[in-house]
Amino acid sequence: MAILGSGAVYSRLTEVDADGNVTAGLAESWEASPDAAVWTFQLRKGVEFHNGKPFTAEDVIASIDHHRGEDSKSPIKQIVDPILTMEAPDPHTVVITLDGGNADFAFLLFDYHLCMMPSDAIGQGIGTGGYMVDSFEPGVRAVAKRNPNYFKGDSRAHFDSIELINMVDPAARSNALLSGGVDFIAQADLKTLKRLSAAPGVVINEQPGTKHFMFQMITTQDPFTDNHVREALKYAVDRQSILDKVLVGHGQIGNDQPIGPANRYHDPNLAQRPYDPDKARFHLKKAGMEDLSVDLATSDGAFVGAVDMAVLFRESAAPAGINVEVDRVPGDGYWSDIWRKRAFCASYSSGRATEDWILSSSYLSGVPWNATQWGNEAFDKLLVAARTELDDAKRREMYGEMQRLISQDGGVIAPIFTNHVEAHNEKLAHDDVGTVMEMDSGLLIERWWFS
């Protein structure tokens, strides 16, 4: 029900529109120092929280501080850790100083955890958003009604009231939509989507996502230390067949790097690696091998479909002289016992809204989430330089180069990105849909309306 918090009840300092541009939220405008390390935000005036408290700079500082500190268990520790100081020279200005430059900082503030709350009532369901919480039972249901005092006026938040119901079972969601009990369902069941979309009045909303499935090779362990072995394995994957069978076609083909079509700086010009058993054999020879046998640890506890993906890989790799031994392991404890421990295993990443975020957390040499222990000096230098580059065209070029480096040298085989697949009835209407996260970048409740 993060959607209720992020898109409806709370607002953030910035927003990201359907084209991926950062736009004004509770901050009207902002300015970065030339090294992108000091950010000054001008806050919107005259905004009130649901409890009547005026929104000011102290609320911004308290809301961000909520995720900081030594005992922080926040999943966005990575975003807030670089913050050195936060100052409020006047009630409607916030100056945030980072320990290094980050050209994406305004974009990162759109993360759904960074919602603005009143400094004296953190985490109590009080925000500045278009809807006010009526009732909330975690894991069951939430009801909210429109905030008459919304700072965006009548231009947004078009429903009089909204009700969110938690339905774990995919079939239950489909049934609820078909029987007219609900107007919209998230995460539609891919296996029965054809039937669902054939029903009268049902509309499918499908957007590319950043989540991707992977096989990860630890590049400091044999035989994966040799890039020819890694290349051979990458050429031995039939991506199309994995996309068709694991996601029933609802995704995008990946190119062994984590920046997908949903990302701003995705490089469509990076040549797509095809399924080519002959090339795979060629690289094996280069590595001094006639054939190769590798153990691949996998479990549906890693992600749903991981075992299928491994078996498909085994089938496509065989013609290249590569024997993939699929080792099915328990899902319990997968992330502590298998991931980062076994030399070759299935894994996934939800992806991240910005290129820097995912690359800095999982591909920079030596960081803890660099599960393949890949290290590449040229890449590391580019990454740090791109972080402070404010010229958009230059940045695009730099991220393109980084994608090429990971794809050609990295330790991940990333065959597919998943789509966000949702379904709704014809009563709902909307503009262009955002792709930062599911449900119109989480702003569905605020942006959509009844036609």
Partner 1 sequence: MTPAVKLILQRLLLGLVTLIVVSMVIFAAVEFLPGDLAEATLGQEATEETVAAIRRELGLDRPPVERYFVWLGNILQGDLGVSYANGRAITEIMGTRAQNTLFLAAMVAVIAVPIAVGLGIVAALYRNSFVDRFINLISLSAISIPEFLIAYLLIVTLSRSGLFPSFVVIDATTTLGTRIYQSILPALALTFVVSAHMMRMTRASIINVLSSAYVEMAHIKGAPRPKVIMAHALPNALAPIINVIAINLAWLVVGVVVVEVIFVYPGLGQLMVDSVAKRDIPVVQACSLFFASVYILLNLAADIGATLSNPRLRHAT
Beta bridge partners of 143: 135, 163
CB of 5 to partner 1, least distance (A): 12
User: What is the nearest approach in angstroms of partner 1 to the Cβ of residue 405?
Assistant: 24
d(CA 45, CA 55): 8
Whole-number minimum distance, CB 232 to partner 1, in Å?
Answer: 27
Q: In the 3-class helix/strand/coil scheme, how is 212-238 assigned residue by residue?
A: EEEEEECCCCCCCCCHHHHHHHHHCCC
Q: How many CB atoms lie within 10 A of CB 31?
A: 11
Could you tell me which of 380, 386, 431 has the C-alpha nearest to residue 406?
A: 380
* Least Å from the CB of residue 75 to partner 1: 6
CA angle at residue 296 from 295 to 299, to 5 degrees? 140
Neighbours of 404 (CB within 10 A): 17
- Smaller CB distance to partner 1: residue 52 or 368? 368
Q: Which two tokens stand for residue 299?
A: 């479990």
The least CB distance from residue 252 to partner 1, in Å, is 21
* 204 CB-near residues (< 8 Å, 6+ apart): 188, 193, 196, 197, 421, 422, 423
Residue number with CB closer to partner 1 (310 or 320) = 310
- Sequence-separated (6 or more) residues with CB below 8 Å from residue 263: 210, 351, 354, 355
Least distance from C-beta 143 to partner 1, angstroms? 9
Q: Quote the distance between the C-alpha of residue 407 and its chain's center.
A: 19
Minimum CB distance to partner 1 smaller for 135 or for 220: 135
* Least distance from partner 1 to the Cβ atom of residue 204, Å: 19
Cis peptide before 223 (omega within 30 of 0): yes
Name the site residues for partner 1 (rule: CB under 8 A): 70-75, 77, 135, 137-141, 163, 165-169, 171-172, 175-176, 178-181, 330, 332-333, 335-337, 339, 347-349, 368-369
**Between residues 69 and 249, which has the closer beta carbon with respect to partner 1?**
69
Q: Between 41 and 112, whose beta carbon lies closer to partner 1? A: 112
Q: Which residue has the tokens 């955890």?
A: 113
Task: Please identify, using beta-carbon distances, which residue of 34 and 180 lies nearer to partner 1.
Answer: 180
CB atoms within 10 A of CB 439: 23
Instruction: Closer to partner 1 by CB, 80 or 284: give it.
Output: 80
Please, which residue, 22 or 307, has the CB nearer to partner 1?
307
Least Å distance between CB 55 and partner 1?
25
